[in-house]
Chain A
Amino acid sequence: MKVWAPVEYTGVAELRGPLIVVQGTRNVGWDEYATIVLESGERRHGLVLDVDRDIAVVQILEGTGGLRIEATRVTFTGSPLHISAGTGWLGRVCNGRGRPLDGGPPIFGDDSVPVAGFPMNPTVREPPAEPVITGVSVIDALTTLVRGQKIAIFAEGGLPYLELAAQVAAQAHTGGAPFNVVFAAMGLTHSDAATVRDILERRSSAAELTLLLNLADDPVIERLLTPRIALTVAEHLAFVLRRHVLVVLADMTSYCEALREVSAARGEIPARRAYPGYLYSDLASIYERCGRIRGRAGSITVLPVLSMPAGDITHPVPDLTGYITEGQILLAREVTSYPHIDPLSSLSRMMRAGVGTGRTRPEHLDLAAQIQAGLSRARQAGELADLVGESALSPIDRRYLAMAEAFRTRLLVQRPDEARTLEETFDRAWDVVSTLPRSELSMLGEEALEAGYRGES
């Protein structure tokens, strides 16, 4: 343990972008947390990015605006940033650095833990299992969230992806098992933030949710801490207090832009689209904090939410996110009604482990596969109809088009404030497949059809 010495340094050599270069430092460690005091007495905070003998490069979370070389004092805390974790975070609204925004007292907790976290030993991981029910039919039916997994929401421009993320955060549950939500908002506009707060209000006042809010005009660099604080809070809830926790991280594209900004200020060699070469590892250090531990009850499910710049799924942020997450839920503009989820481009790779007998419904996987296959066939039929006209289609192709329409009206379309039970979702899903002749439902077993099919045979 290093001896904590509150030495105040005044030797500021350089201010550039979000960076401050301090001279004459002694025993300052890499990634240490620093406090910067301006001549007005204002305090700002920073992280050490590089230490070279007696020179420390610090990134200032609140930005360098107004700092003067002559009258700035810097102290180092002697260790990387820690927060106190505990149930005190529930029901609170804080800024991107974890300082209260709700007028309440600072948050004190049971344990002081580093926000960078420690990597989970892969051999103690329990593979994800059991569902998180979101109350959004199309997600629960086709791309079920599984406890301990990470699955991303990708959105094309202009779509209400934050509303959907907030709706999931407000409605999600684990069927009675203790459940909490940590919502980390990064780079949200004031109006978006107001909408999100509004949607989450009830859950927050029930002390089931923590909201970390970094706004679009808040310091950009602060965003680099926001998801880490959220996950540190979640890890304590999940693995010490053994609850199921859903962590929503929105919008990760804003986070990555902050990372790029720091990287550029440091003069690092840029990789794709000027994002730093370590973007993959950095994102992984966040997303990989999901999981379950063998022999412990809790779980962390991570839901990164991001807007795809120019709707491009090969952009580095969605691309690298897709490489790390176990599936994605894609919001497409061609799906014209809320929640805009394109079922054919969405996938939950862990779904097999989360659904079925004793979890959701015995026929869940087959029913989902049947709907996917039907929609895929309907899309082909639709393309053909565009060429030759719908009247030229075979009768069975027309049935598939009718099935796609039933899917849209019965299952997909849902109000942003509407929470559907699993029963209701399955009821609607059976309505959808029942628009097809029974002979077409090759993926569903006899027993399931006997119980669920309600079309004319």
Chain B
Amino acid sequence: MGTVSRVNGPLVEVEDLIGAAMFELVLLGPHRLPGEIVTLRDGHATVQAYEYTGGLAPGDPADRGGSPVSALLGPHLLGGVYDGLLRPLTDAGPWLNPAAPTPASAARPWRFTPLVEQGRTAAPGTAIGRVEDASSPAYLVLSPGGEVSAIRQAGHYPHDAVIAVVGGTEVRLTRRQPVRLALPYLSRLEGTVPLTTGQRVIDLLLPVCLGGTAAVPGGFGTGKTVLLQQIAKWCDADVVIYIGCGERGNEMADVVAELAELSDPRTGGRLSDRTVVIANTSNMPMMAREASIYTGVTVAEHFRDMGYAAVVIADSTSRWAEARREFASRSGILPAEEGYPADLASALAAFYERAGRVITLGGATGSVTIVGAVSPPGGDLTEPVTAQTERFVRTLWALDRDLAYARHYPAISWRDSFSRDADALTHGAPENAARRARVGGLLAEADRLTALAELVGAGALPARERIGLLAGRLLREGFLRQSSLSTLDAYCPPERTALIADALLTILARCQDLIEHGVPVASVEDRDFSPILRAKESPQEEILARRDTVLDDLETLR
């Protein structure tokens, strides 16, 4: 039992905490507020507290928690909403009072089915049983490795009941897992399987692979949160962990409500059944925000180990970096760029490195994909968090204020974004690579021509280049723009994306052909392209007919 000696906001110093370890949990004061040891020196510990410390005074008791800061993993996670330390929010009252902690969840019994027999040997990481009434997908209980000396029969068990003894270790339905350490796996795999997000600009031009990393930098008002919500809703992952890290409470309420209403296009269940929401809104304690990112990745790794594809969506990593800066500043660590501690870059790198597609200990294939939002102050993309993040991610979806201002959503800039996995992903699909190259090439050309046209006027350009401008317009309006509100357009499956892109490319090729055969370019520009521009809002089987309507209309010019 130690004694609090100093309190400065979330920074608490504790004396006489004998035998404590770095990153160990500490319970502070009469309300036993959780905190984590970040420095140890001659029996003095510096603790970062995860709750508001108002009223905590020097002389108050401080208790060792005995283990590193951990999260309770188990079948209750899917479909729930938790705070940064994975404590359930659903059962808490309307106001979060640190002195009146929330009740532990996972209280209801779960239906367990054994998958191995007593006496057999279960290798580490293999499934010894499943919980079927949790949610989709099925929750697997994994073996710590060894001989199964006892296992329960199928039936309902409370979350903390011992359901098996394997290699002398008791196995329960839930377990506590330290959040700052990555869960082990056997080996890493190359990223060659795409994560389909249902967003055309991403899936065709800037794809991300299972086990990949993507960052979304964007100033306020550029539609960052809407884009992340779209990915959370429509990406083809098995499990989605949505971390609201220092963001708006109303948005979290919105996400939770929408996920509960929407059905999963692949399983037919509710989207919330495959989602774990970690809500640490900007008015909740700042240091729990720092932990929430790690908690979220730990949950993802847990599902990865069951052989699932998990996606972590963190909105926003800038708030996490700010929490680290705040604590560093209070504990007197020398500042580097813009007051951020010098370990910002390594902390960001370590976080994104927890993504990956792996062979699990049990031999299954699972993945953790990380998508992190970045909120650059003043929209300045050279600020430290944005600049360092760009170094470590394999995909960048940069949001552009001018596009957002023109109501072009998702406002992903095709100029400033990159995907380093694009080539690997299209290795086995040459037609997709060709499609990407053509669309990307036309957009780049249209950008160059637009700049030129602003100088000399579009009318002064040769016919060929005016078709280049037309191509830019059609691709922007008919392909890149995607409405998050339209039921048909919000989610665009890959085959539909390909169909729309090909239809536009065919039309543009026809336009090119027409002017080469002497048709005046102005008459091509004046044709009505609206049937194909609205193709994205129409059923898939109509797309080809719409293309043909435009092609037939163009033919009349010949």
Contact = CB atoms under 8 A, between A and B. Distances in A.
Interface of A: 2, 26-32, 49-54, 79-80, 114, 116-128, 148-149, 239, 268-272, 277-278, 280-281, 284-285, 288-291, 293, 314-316, 319-320, 322-324, 326, 347, 350
Interface of B: 5-9, 13, 52-59, 81, 89-90, 92-97, 220-221, 244, 246, 248-250, 252-254, 256-257, 279, 281-286, 319, 322-323, 325-326, 329-330, 335, 338-339, 375, 377-380
Contact of A322 (B5, B220, B282, B338): B220
A149 B375 CA distance: 21
Contacts of A27: 57-59
A98 B97 CA distance: 24
Contacts of B380: 314
Contacts of A114: 54
Contacts of B9: 30
B81 A122 contact: yes
Contacts of A124: 93-94
A284 B7 contact: no
B220 A126 contact: no
Contacts of B248: 288, 324, 326
B55 A31 contact: yes
B7 A50 contact: yes
A288 B97 contact: no
Contacts of B256: 122-123
Contact of A119 (B95, B253, B322): B95
15 contacts: A28-B57, A30-B7, A50-B6, A50-B8, A118-B97, A122-B89, A122-B252, A122-B279, A122-B281, A239-B94, A271-B338, A278-B322, A280-B322, A291-B250, A316-B378
Contacts of A350: 250
A116 B52 contact: yes
Given A122-B252, A124-B93, A284-B281, 15 more contacts: A28-B58, A29-B56, A32-B57, A50-B8, A51-B57, A119-B285, A122-B279, A125-B250, A149-B250, A268-B329, A268-B330, A272-B377, A285-B283, A314-B377, A322-B220
B253 A125 contact: yes
Contacts of B282: 280-281, 284-285, 288, 324
Contacts of A79: 54-55
Contact of A51 (B7, B94, B323): B7
Given A120-B95, A314-B379, A323-B375, A269 B58 contact: no
A355 to B, nearest CB: 15
A291 B53 CA distance: 24
A289 B283 contact: yes
A271 B344 CA distance: 15
A28 B59 CA distance: 9
A122 B378 contact: no
Contacts of B53: 30-31
Given A121-B96, A271-B338, A127 B250 contact: yes
A93 to B, nearest CB: 28
Nearest to A290: B250
Counting chain B CB atoms within 10 Å of each CB, which of A31, A117, A239 scores highest?
A: A31
A315 B379 CA distance: 11
Contacts of A28: 57-58
A277 B81 contact: no
Contacts, number: 171
Among B8, B58, B257, B319, the one with the most A-chain Cβ atoms within 10 Å of its Cβ is: B58
A56 B282 CA distance: 28
A53 B283 contact: no
B284 A119 contact: yes
A120 B8 contact: no
A278 B58 contact: no
Which of B5, B279, B284, B379 neighbours the largest number of chain A CB atoms within 10 Å of its CB? B284
B283 A119 contact: yes
Given A122-B252, A270-B339, A277-B339, A29 B7 contact: yes
Given A119-B281, A314-B380, A128 B221 contact: no
A275 to B, nearest CB: 10
A26 B380 CA distance: 47
B250 A148 contact: yes
Given A52-B58, A269-B329, A280 B220 contact: no
A116 B54 contact: yes
A122 B249 contact: yes
Contacts of B375: 323
A284 B94 CA distance: 18
B286 A278 contact: yes
B95 to A, nearest CB: 4
Contacts of A288: 248-249, 281-283
A149 B248 CA distance: 10
Contacts of B89: 121-123
A79 B30 CA distance: 14
B377 A320 contact: yes
B58 A127 contact: no
A121 B93 contact: yes
A125 B58 contact: no
A79 B53 CA distance: 11
Nearest to A321: B220
A43 B459 CA distance: 77
Of the listed residues A32, A120, A121, A272, the one surrounded by the most CB atoms of chain B closer than 10 A to its CB is A121
A118 B58 CA distance: 23
B249 A2 contact: no
A123 B90 contact: yes
Nearest to A316: B377
A80 B7 CA distance: 14
A123 B83 CA distance: 10
A323 B55 contact: no
Given A53-B6, A278-B326, A314-B378, A127 B59 contact: no
B41 to A, nearest CB: 15
B220 A30 contact: no
A314 B401 CA distance: 13
Contacts of A53: 5-6, 58
B12 to A, nearest CB: 9
A79 B54 CA distance: 8
A440 B397 CA distance: 35
Nearest to A126: B253
A316 B5 CA distance: 35
A364 to B, nearest CB: 16
Contacts of B55: 2, 29-32, 79-80
Contacts of A122: 81, 89, 244, 249, 252-253, 256, 279, 281
